[in-house]
């Protein structure tokens, strides 16, 4: 039987060696040894890109009146500025609807700091990462993985505090992990289906 790692490599198109090239050096240290690049990335991933507020600020100072409609329209005009919580795809936004944005941002950057060689902030606050188990409540499909990766690619592209080489390594890790989670999600759903069937089966009438 194909392992979850093998499925992740096949579906993501990223070999395990490339996915775990993040461990060849210490990305946390090479980015300055501070949480800031990871806070930037996760904020960028979950919320609007840094370009949008900057644009809004410039517009705001030029505006004598505060016209909310105008501001909202202007934000939408910026291509690719919408991230996870403002995604135009409702089915994808829905997956995150039970989580507070601020918590989601903190959960992600603490995990990334830890995984990229920094202090174990995530485990200290949340316990073992156990990513498959933590994603169990959500429908992590191939389509959801591609949408997640789309946002992450956009977020990485517009995070200036991360260098190009680290971006490539991190994206390979993200692609592989996303499909590892898809494979894990399929597996846990199949398992719970078979367990549910066994408990729900009624005894045939005699
Ligand atoms: C949390 C969805 C991929 C790491 C979450 C949450 C959702 C979600 C809905 C809850 C938000 C929160 O409260 O923190 C997805 C989907 C993915 C995906 C649809 C598509 C494949 C990934 C990947 C990683 C990752 C690739 C790691 C590289 C995490 C972490 C948390 C999280 C660390 C926080 C868990 C916690 O603190 O309990 N994800 N995720 N996710 N995700 Fe994902």
**ipTM attached to this prediction:** 0.99
pTM for the whole structure: 0.85
The confidence score (pLDDT) of residue 101 equals 96
**What is the per-residue pLDDT across 97-115, written as a single tens digit (0 to 9) for each?**
999 999 999 999 999 999 9
In the chain, the largest separation of any two C-alpha atoms, in whole Å, equals 82
What's residue 1's pLDDT? 79
* DSSP per position, 35-92: SHHHHHHHHHHHS--THHHHHHHHHHHH-SS--HHHHHHHHHHSTT---GGG-S-HHH
> Is the beta carbon of 107 within 6 A of some atom in ligand 1?
yes
Three-state DSSP class for 199? helix
Q: How far is the CA of 61 from the centre of ligand 1 (A)?
A: 37
Does ligand 1 come within 6 angstroms of the Cβ of 108? yes
Q: What is the CATH architecture assignment of 4-47+83-197?
A: Orthogonal Bundle (1.10)
Tokens describing residue 203: 């005894």
Residues of the chain with pLDDT under 50: 50-77
Q: What is the pLDDT of residue 15?
A: 98
Q: Which residue bears the tokens 């601020």?
A: 102
Share of the chain above pLDDT 70, in %: 78
């Amino acid at each position: 039987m194909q392992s979850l790692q093998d499925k992740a490599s096949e579906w993501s198109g990223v070999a395990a060696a490339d996915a775990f090239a993040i461990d060849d050096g210490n990305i946390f240290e090479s980015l300055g040894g501070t949480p800031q690049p990871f806070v930037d990335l996760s904020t960028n991933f979950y919320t609007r890109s840094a370009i949008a507020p900057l644009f809004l600020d410039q517009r705001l100072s030029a505006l004598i009146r505060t016209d909310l409609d105008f501001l909202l329209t202007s934000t939408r005009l910026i291509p690719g500025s919408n991230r996870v919580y403002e995604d135009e795809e409702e089915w994808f936004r829905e997956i995150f609807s039970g989580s507070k944005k601020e918590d989601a941002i903190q959960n992600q950057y603490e995990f990334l700091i830890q995984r990229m060689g920094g202090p174990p902030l995530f485990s200290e606050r949340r316990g073992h990462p156990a990513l498959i188990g933590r994603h169990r409540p959500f429908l992590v499909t191939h389509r959801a993985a591609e949408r997640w990766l789309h946002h992450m690619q956009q977020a990485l592209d517009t995070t200036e505090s991360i260098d190009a080489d680290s971006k490539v390594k991190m994206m390979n890790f993200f692609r592989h992990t996303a499909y590892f989670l898809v494979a894990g999600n399929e597996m846990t759903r199949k398992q719970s289906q078979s367990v549910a069937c066994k408990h729900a089966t009624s005894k045939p009438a005699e």
